[in-house]
């Protein structure tokens, strides 16, 4: 069964980020996977020849999905295949582990090994690579500061230094050049299950900041 979570995004300023960096550690726990409170994420997003995932995001389609593969802090010993789905304001994420060799094979367009997989997400991705002709579209790099709050299963993240790989899609190549994506704003994301505790709601309130539908993938496709 797919579990859907609430998700809000806000574009914030550098001053807002400094304020939140002072507030959040007093109430929330650091993510145990973070190094000195943050980690770097590199993702490779997939889309079909008509850019269906991109167009649906820009058009605000209520029900949509996209696939990506990603790793953290330059560590390619654990790479994740992820499918992110959205229905209205609710989101879900399914993931499966990939080896470096499996991820590189996907990037290179070698999918034969996926036929033998027993993981349902890899099987689904394999079917859509063939039927929808999904292909790598762009690398998305950014730095994330994550905070956790157990009540409500709340996760608050601050994402910044968002960069795009332009036409480079070999995301395992450390020499792949990236540049700032569009205006490369700072993004505050708040995710929770059934309810958002009032103390967290009050803590993340920043005057004049409204909920937005910012997409790192869309921002990084601005150059092609």
Summarised one tens digit per residue, pLDDT across range 61-111 is 989 999 999 999 999 999 999 999 999 879 999 999 999 999 999 999 999
Neighbours of 119 (CB within 10 A): 15
224 contacts 55 by C-beta, under 8 angstroms: no
| DSSP string covering 14-63 | HHHHHHHHHHHHHHSEEPTT-BTTBEEEEEEEEE-TT-HHHHHHHHT-SE
Q: pTM to 2 decimals? A: 0.93
User: How far apart (Å, rounded) are the C-alpha atoms in residues 52 and 66?
Assistant: 9
Q: Kindly report the length of the chain.
A: 224
**Residues with Cβ < 8 Å from 5, sequence gap 6 or more?**
90, 91, 92, 153, 191, 192, 193
Predicted pLDDT of residue 177: 85
pLDDT band at 2 (very low <50, low <70, confident <90, very high): low
Predicted pLDDT of residue 184: 76
Residue 1 has pLDDT above 70, yes or no: no
74 contacts 62 by C-beta, under 8 angstroms: no
Predicted pLDDT of residue 33: 86
Total of domains in the chain? 1
Q: Which CATH number fits the domain that encloses residue 9?
A: 3.20.100.30
* Higher per-residue pLDDT: 182 or 16: 16
Range of the domain at 115: 5-220
Predicted pLDDT of residue 114: 97
Summarised one tens digit per residue, pLDDT across range 128-137 is 999 999 999 9
Summarised one tens digit per residue, pLDDT across range 176-186 is 888 888 777 89
């Amino acid at each position: 069964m797919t579990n859907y979570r609430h998700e809000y995004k806000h574009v914030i300023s550098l001053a807002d980020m400094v304020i939140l960096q002072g507030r959040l550690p007093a109430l929330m726990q650091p993510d145990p996977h973070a190094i000195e409170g943050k980690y770097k994420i590199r993702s490779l997003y997939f889309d079909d020849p008509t850019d269906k995932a991109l167009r649906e995001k820009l058009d605000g389609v209520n029900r949509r999905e996209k696939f990506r593969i990603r790793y953290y802090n330059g560590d390619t010993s654990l790479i994740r295949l992820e499918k992110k789905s959205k229905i209205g304001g609710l989101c879900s994420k399914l993931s499966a582990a990939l080896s470096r060799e499996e991820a590189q094979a996907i990037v290179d367009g070698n999918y034969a090994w996926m036929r033998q997989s027993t993981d349902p997400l890899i099987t689904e991705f394999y079917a859509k690579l063939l039927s929808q002709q999904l292909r790598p579209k762009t690398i998305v790099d950014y730095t994330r500061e994550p905070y956790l709050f157990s009540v409500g299963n709340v996760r608050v993240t601050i994402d910044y230094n968002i960069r795009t790989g332009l036409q480079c899609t070999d995301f395992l190549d450390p020499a792949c050049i990236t540049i700032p994506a569009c205006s490369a704003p700072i993004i505050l994301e708040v995710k929770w299950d059934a309810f958002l505790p009032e103390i967290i709601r009050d803590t993340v309130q920043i005057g004049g900041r409204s909920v937005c539908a910012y997409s790192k993938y869309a921002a990084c496709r601005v150059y092609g």
